[in-house]
């Protein structure tokens, strides 16, 4: 990053903030005067239906950029809730436009980021719409794990995760009960284990086979800053 860009960041940076678990950082339907980058911690991005059903769109991990939707559109179209203590770097909303004007290359990067999010949502749509329950669970665990590996969060084959089975079920379009039974299936086959706040992969190739991704390669998330 150039000196000018550093100066720009400082000018629009409001500060850093550590928020406790369970905090709703952004709320569907509301505007946001702030943009965030996640420095540490994890959370969930989700949408709610009128009857209380919930669709988990994805997880947020360190390096994620939050609030772009409310930044360029008038309001958020999903909510973001923390699941651990999360440290945020906070920027003013109008930084977005100034960034586009003064550093078009960074604006270009932001469009790249939005296109990447679109790609991931497309992948999730394929997962939910076309795959069986077991395939969905396998693919869901695989994506979480790959993300954790990229971030260096995996130790001894185990990735600590602050999510519950209901979160996984809501992300895959499955019921909690059935998700539980599918997790048991993967566990009893010695492929993967989701328990005690962590995900352990025993047989990565086996998991990829179950997920129907034996030959697929993942697309890495490039930090924006």
For DNA, the binding residues (CB under 7 A) are 132-134, 164-166, 173-181, 183-184, 195
> Does 57 engage in binding with a copy of itself (CB under 8 A)?
yes
Token pair listed for 194 = 């989701």
Which parts of 21-103 fold into alpha helices (H)? 68-72, 95-102
> Residues near 123 by Cβ (< 8 Å), separated by ≥ 6?
none
What is the x/- site pattern for a copy of itself, positions 89-128, by CB under 8 A? -------xx--xx--xx-xx-xxx-xxxxxx-xx-xxx-x
> Does 10 engage in binding with a copy of itself (CB under 8 A)?
no
* CA distance between the termini of the chain: 8
Our CA dihedral for 123, 69, 106, 93, rounded to 10 degrees, sits at -160
Q: What angle do CA 88, 90, 91 make, to 5 degrees?
A: 155
Q: Which is nearer to a copy of itself, 18 or 126 (CB)?
A: 126
78 binds, among DNA, a copy of itself, none (CB under 5 to 8 A by kind): a copy of itself
Q: Which residues are at the interface with a copy of itself (CB under 8 A)?
A: 47, 49-51, 53, 55, 57, 68-69, 72-73, 77-78, 96-97, 100-101, 104-105, 107-108, 110-112, 114-119, 121-122, 124-126, 128-130, 172-173, 212, 215
């Amino acid at each position: 990053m150039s000196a000018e860009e550093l100066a720009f960041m400082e000018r629009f940076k409001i500060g850093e903030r550590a928020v406790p678990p369970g905090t709703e950082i952004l709320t569907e339907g509301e505007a946001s005067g702030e943009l965030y980058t996640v420095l540490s911690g994890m959370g969930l991005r989700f949408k709610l239906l009128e009857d209380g059903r919930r669709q988990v769109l994805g997880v947020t991990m360190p390096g994620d950029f939050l609030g772009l939707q409310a930044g360029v559109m008038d309001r958020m179209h999903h909510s973001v809730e923390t699941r651990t203590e999360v440290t945020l770097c906070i920027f003013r909303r109008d930084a977005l436009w100034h960034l586009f004007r003064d550093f078009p290359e960074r604006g270009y990067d932001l469009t790249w980021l939005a296109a990447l999010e679109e790609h991931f949502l497309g992948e999730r749509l394929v997962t939910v719409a076309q795959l069986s329950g077991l395939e969905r669970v396998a693919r869901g665990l695989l994506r979480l794990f790959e993300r954790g590996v990229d971030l260096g969060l995996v130790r001894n084959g185990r990735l600590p995760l602050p999510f519950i089975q209901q979160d996984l079920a809501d992300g895959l379009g499955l019921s909690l009960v059935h998700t539980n039974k599918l997790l048991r299936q993967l566990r009893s086959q010695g492929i993967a284990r989701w328990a005690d706040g962590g995900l352990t992969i025993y047989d990565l190739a086996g998991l990829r086979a179950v997920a129907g991704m034996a030959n697929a390669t993942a697309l890495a998330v490039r930090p924006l800053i």
